[in-house]
Amino acid sequence: SIGKGAVSMYLDLAEFASVKQFAAEFLSKYDRLDMLMNNAAVMMPPKSKTVDGHELQWGTNHLGHFKLTLLLKDVLEKSAPSRVVILSSASAFKCTMMCPTDPTIDYSDINWEKRKYVKDLSYGSSKLANLLTAMELPNRFKGVTAYSLHPGWVQSKLMRHMSAPPTCILKMMGLLNIEIGCHTSYHCALSDDKDLVNGAFYTQCGIYKDKTAAKGAWPLAEPPNPFISKEAAKELWDYSVTAVAD
């Protein structure tokens, strides 16, 4: 169910046509957008593709959200000061429970057609892209701030495709309930601009290889993945614009 006053609209991030239809419907009804939260994701499913031929995690978690954000750029800028909040993950980094190495973005094989498909690293790459998008967006949108975050390990159906051992360990350690799992999202969505760092990554506790990041931080001053840089964020943005073009 949705809260009082909320309006639901159909959107399938794994299909660009659906993203375009949603944006068109939204813009036909509303002339203001104060905050866009890119929250949806798929996590470690069997190898498959979106309707448009992209690897499912990359196409849904990154490209679908990216196209939606571009389509809403004008209304976000018109509504300035506005903001975009993007749910990333601890899996954007080397993570004891998920990614065995620091995720990267391999533009030469973005859809895992040449390499053996590693669903953990594919998920990590899509979440790394979320973080980099939030870094670069303030340079591309006028009057719009952006933040990425790891919400913590939350009781949801997102982990349904994970193998049993890590799922059991996470449950033994204690998963956050939905309310607490929303806290970091609320912080990035509702705090005053002066209390946030534009483009930064915010995190609940995470099982990071880097122990200094394990307790979380709002924001995490130095995200522990050497792939992350201003140059990488710019390269991803330029690639993504082409990838989602009609």
Q: Considering 30, 107, 117, 123, which one is annotated as catalytic? A: 123
* CA 246 from centre of chain: 22
pLDDT at position 203: 83
Query: Does the structure show a pLDDT above 60 at 70?
Result: yes
pLDDT computed for residue 154 by the predictor: 57
214 or 26, higher pLDDT: 26
What are the backbone dihedrals phi and psi of residue 195, each rounded to the nearest 5 degrees, phi first?
-95, 5
- Is it the case that residue 122 has pLDDT exceeding 50? yes
> Which residue is associated with the tokens 């995690």?
57
Average pLDDT, the chain: 86
Burial 62-99, CB ≥16 within 10 A → b, else e: bbbbbbbbbbbbebbeebeebbbbbbbbbbbbbbebbb
Question: What are 131-141's pLDDT values in tens digits?
Answer: 999 999 999 99
- Bigger pLDDT: 156 vs 8: 8
Planar angle of CA 95, 135, 44, nearest 5 degrees: 35
Q: What is the DSSP letter of 95?
A: B
Determine the pLDDT at residue 1: 57
Give pTM, 2 decimals. 0.86
Torsion angle, alpha carbons of 104, 119, 123, 154, to 10 = -140
| Residue 188, token pair as written in the block | 């990035």
Mean pLDDT calculated for residue range 19-47: 94
Q: What share of the chain is helix, strand, coil (3-state, %, to 5)?
A: 45, 10, 45
Tell me what the mean pLDDT of segment 98-121 comes to: 89
Task: Give residue 169's pLDDT band: very low, low, confident or very high (50, 70, 90).
Answer: very low
Catalytic site residue 107? no
Q: Are 234 and 111 in contact (CB under 8 A)?
A: no
Quick one: tokens of 74?
Answer: 């004008």
